[in-house]
Amino acid sequence: MEGQYIGIDMGGTNTRLGVVSKEGEVADLLCLSTREYSSWADFSTKLTSAISEMGLEGIEVLGIAVAGGVLIPEGIMSYSPHIRWLNQVPIKESLVKATGLPVFLENDANAVTYGEWMYGAGKGLSSVICLTLGSGVGGGIILNEELYRGEHGLGGEIGHMCVQPSGRLCTCGKRGCLEAYSSASALSAAYGERGLNGKAGYQPDALQIYERAVAGEKVALDLFTSFGEHLGIAIANLANVLSVHHYVITGGVSRAWELFLGPLEKALEANLFSPHRGMVKVLRGHLRDKAGVIGVARLAADYL
């Protein structure tokens, strides 16, 4: 069977993998724990045996997506913020040896963006920007039907766009990044700082804050308002610079859509350069947690 690719989406907690067809359908989506490993040697042994179990017959290419900086031609991780033991690992070479397949390594947010563009909410658009709201904020840019990587492959780091000068401290060491307002970790940290009910330092996770907001708690609702406003400012900045009018929002925290969309749209319109007003559309991702697997499989097929 032709037109079958393997897609692997490697996160800090879990790794998803599956066989993806040319039409973007995924068969046999598997999930491995990444967290219990502490070296690429051990993890890749487990990963390779999972790949062999899926069967390699008819598979043309293998794509693997990981958070962080990726040297595309070499297939090496240049930096890996969440999985420290991946720093400088030659992932491509290792998986080519283990599977015999052509291998393509890509940044995870770029993979999600490519998937949503080829098969999801961005299908048919010539330019689209995707924001992945998870523990951090990932970004990917499709410009004129091509994934834009920028110099040194570091393009699309929308999470580290400044949306509040001298604002909250980000995990990257800068202040006022989008990620310090519109991510799961930011929600949790900001909630903890409020010292609610005298319990300073109590940090519910993003899902608990979402549940509190839905139940009408003001502190939680305010956090989602701020979450949406900062996203709106970031999207307006992108639209003002690039004149891209379609934005896809995906990732775990996008489930709180109804809580942040209103503030997002208000801040977006207020910060748009006037010729763009009324033209920018914010869409919800369609592929959910399969976007990375589907996207990186298709990227591998298109780029190799």
> Is residue 170 within the footprint of Zn ion (CB under 5 A)?
yes
**Given candidates 35, 84, 123, 174, which one binds Zn ion under the rule CB under 5 A?**
174
Secondary structure (3-state) at 172: coil
Helix extents (H) in 55-107: 91-99
| AA letter at 119 | Y
- Phi and psi at 55, nearest 5°, equal 90, 130
> Is residue 168 within the footprint of Zn ion (CB under 5 A)?
no
> Is residue 160 within the footprint of Zn ion (CB under 5 A)?
yes
Q: How far is the CB of 172 from Zn ion (least distance, A)?
A: 3
Q: How far is the CB of 161 from Zn ion (least distance, A)?
A: 9
> Is residue 186 within the footprint of Zn ion (CB under 5 A)?
no
Q: Which two tokens stand for residue 16?
A: 């998803």
**Given candidates 8, 118, 133, 177, which one binds Zn ion under the rule CB under 5 A?**
177
Cα–Cα distance measured from residue 173 to residue 162, given in angstroms and rounded to the nearest whole number:
12
Nearer CB in complex with Zn ion: 19/177: 177
Considering only the stretches 36-44, 59-67, 140-148, 162-170, report the one whose residues sit in contact with Zn ion under the rule CB under 5 A. 162-170
Task: Label residues 151-182 b or e (16+ Cβ within 10 Å = b).
Answer: eebebbbbbbbbbbeebbebbeeeebbbbbbb
Nearer CB in complex with Zn ion: 144/166: 166
Number of residues in the chain? 304
Binding-residue total with Zn ion (CB under 5 A): 5
Nearer CB in complex with Zn ion: 178/299: 178
Nearer CB in complex with Zn ion: 35/174: 174
Q: How far is the CB of 230 from Zn ion (least distance, A)?
A: 12
Cα–Cα distance measured from residue 286 to residue 300, given in angstroms and rounded to the nearest whole number:
21
> Is residue 207 within the footprint of Zn ion (CB under 5 A)?
no
Cα–Cα distance measured from residue 77 to residue 64, given in angstroms and rounded to the nearest whole number:
11
Give the residues lining the site for Zn ion (CB under 5 A).
Answer: 160, 170, 172, 174, 177
